[in-house]
Amino acid sequence: MSRRRREKVKRAPYVVFVSHASTDLWIARVIAEKISLPGIKPWLDEIDMEGGNVVVDVIIRGIDSCNEAIILVSPSTVDSQWVVFEIGAVRGQHKRVTPILNNVHYDAIKPMSDVKAISLSEFDRFLMQLKKRVRSGARR
């Protein structure tokens, strides 16, 4: 395939699923905004889900379509059945998942205590790592 032809072939965006408790929506929006870089698309419930959708079906489709996920872990997350469901779905597909900690200890959510977490105050470090994965062509 010629170089010109390869340039015309559009690469699907690298999708990052953003899991969060509903009370952390504002922070999740900011995270999604920061992730919206060339070649990267955040999946966020308020953007990708419409009224009348069957929530579990849309979440599963979002996780199926994502390349990786981040879990915003806060004191509110501990009580969120949806976040725990999303963690299980992502991990069940063996996709990369990064806990982003907001005012909680790394083991606040037991299903994630074995995964390297990043503090929200160091989110820029996650963005650098994400850019590197996308540049290297990582798809999982």
Whole-model pTM: value is: 0.87
CATH class of 11-117: alpha beta
Q: Give the pLDDT confidence score for residue 133 in this predicted structure.
A: 92
Q: Give the pLDDT confidence score for residue 10 in this predicted structure.
A: 67
Q: Give the pLDDT confidence score for residue 48 in this predicted structure.
A: 74
pLDDT tens digits in sequence order for the chain, 140 residues long:
555 555 555 678 999 999 999 999 999 999 999 999 999 999 998 787 767 777 888 899 999 999 999 999 999 888 888 888 999 999 999 999 999 999 998 878 777 888 999 999 999 999 999 999 998 876 55
Beta bridge partners of 118: 100
